[in-house]
Chain A
Amino acid sequence: MTEVSVTKDATPTAEDLVVLKNVNKHFGALHVLQDIDLTIARGEVVVVIGPSGSGKSTLCRAINRLESIESGSITIDGKPLPEEGKALARLRADVGMVFQSFNLFAHKTVLENVMLGQLKVRKADKKDAEEKARGLLDRVGVAAQADKYPAQLSGGQQQRVAIARALAMGPKVMLFDEPTSALDPEMINEVLEVMQQLARDGMTMVVVTHEMGFARSAANRVVFMADGRIVEEAVPDQFFSNPRSDRAKDFLSKILHH
């Protein structure tokens, strides 16, 4: 683990890529995000963990506005998150998203899935888009499946294609919303390896996961959420060996000793 500063300075610097300030959201009576303050620096890998219903997925989805927020602000690379329309679409193009259920376009081949955003959003040349798509599929190890449809692939392969699809946009930051939770156990590692590689390559990542091994080995910082609040933030070693809050101690005791 390299040296990491877990500072929470009030003024955002040029190195701060994603800044959430005082973010609040309700689902009906449930206060799912409560006064969330979170800053993610360029190149940083932040793993968000916590019990079900703690708001961690909502937090992840709010960063590219798949969930709207009621108050507070979210800025990405210095720009506030737009409400609607073209500006929002442009911003989303710079934020890669990987979903729990893969969400590959079912009527398009693997190659077409990875090319679609390049062609329709980035207006790339078809040949360049295909070249880039094949390169990325090769990088995530599914180049041989390029002409198949998503339903013909295993879950692990589908999720790696989904990562390639997000990378094809050249995102500034990648959001992972429980990327391995829908996978068979033997397929989890092939996806985590791709993510580890991305992290080593310096990609800025926000990862919501239950994979504590990944958090330990790849994260620069662990954010622990419970009941809509960020309860604790720390470097992985410190968090796992010496959690400060009772809530985190309780959570870790339940998942680590079995």
Chain B
Amino acid sequence: MFDFLEGYNLWEAFWTTVQLTVLSAIGSLIWGTVLAAMRVGPVPLMRGFGTAYVNIVRNIPLTVIILFTSLGLNQTFGATLGSDQIDTTNFRLAVLGLIAYTSAFVCEALRSGINTVPVGQAEAARALGLNFTQVLTLVVLPQAFRSVVGPLANVLIALTKNTTVAAAIGVAEAALLMKEMIENEAQLVLISAVFAFGFVCLTLPTGLILGWVSKKVAVKR
């Protein structure tokens, strides 16, 4: 029944999906945190930049952003991201695009978490003589992160599925292989089912584990 799978390397394709997801998740967590810090910070210029970035980037389709990294950054401006192999360059461009896009959502999730931290926490920290960065990193963000593990799990699951857009610029991840198989094989429904199952295997544990973590780290008030 599953003979049609022969000759295709599903593991490699899904491994690329996992790599895209993990690297983009780490990158967007960092950049999203920086954006959130800008949006709650005291410097008007940074606040303006953070707000503009989030509102522009989250309203552009991911496909457009990923295509821009290839057609714009790579082919027009010649960015190769430190690789002379086109496959590696495309992979890195896809990660860049995914980070740029996902970080807008990470930023907003985190900002809603910052809003759950009572003002008094930051006031007490300031009253001790901590500076803005210390107040944010030692007192506010640790509590904010704990309250948004759930929403961040949503973002991570969406990111895992969004990596399929990287197929648009030829990154050899799961969706590209699926397209190839659909063109060459007859079992269309089964092929879709196999790939759907593959993604559920990635995202379902993510949701369950982070749901458990969310309860575990919740701040009691």
Contacts and interface: CB of A to CB of B under 8 A. Distances in A.
B221 interface: yes
A64 interface: yes
Given A89-B129, A106-B219, A120 B134 contact: yes
B139 interface: yes
A89 B42 CA distance: 15
A103 interface: yes
A246 B107 CA distance: 55
B216 interface: no
Contact of B127 (A84, A92, A104, A120): A92
Contacts of B143: 106-107
Interface stretch (B20-28, B89-97, B116-124, B159-167): B116-124
A91 B125 CA distance: 13
Main secondary structure of the interface of A (DSSP, over half): mixed
B47 interface: no
B129 A103 contact: no
A99 B125 CA distance: 12
A89 B221 CA distance: 27
Given A106-B221, A116-B138, A149-B220, A99 B128 contact: no
Interface string B105-133: 00000000000001011011111111100
A64 B127 contact: yes
Contact of B123 (A66, A86, A93): A66
Range, interface on chain A: 20 to 34
A97 interface: yes
Interface string A70-96: 000000000000001110011111111
Interface residues of B, number: 22
Contact of B128 (A86, A101, A169): A169
B131 A86 contact: yes
Nearest to A119: B138
A117 B128 CA distance: 6
A105 B124 contact: yes
A121 interface: yes
Contacts of A101: 118, 120
A105 B146 CA distance: 13
Contacts of B123: 66, 99, 103
B146 A121 contact: no
Interface of A: 64, 66, 84-86, 89-97, 99, 101-107, 116-117, 120-121, 149, 151-152, 162, 165-166, 169
Interface of B: 42, 118, 120-121, 123-131, 134, 138-139, 142-143, 146, 219-221
Given A93-B128, A121-B129, A151-B220, 6 more contacts: A66-B126, A97-B124, A105-B124, A151-B221, A165-B128, A166-B128
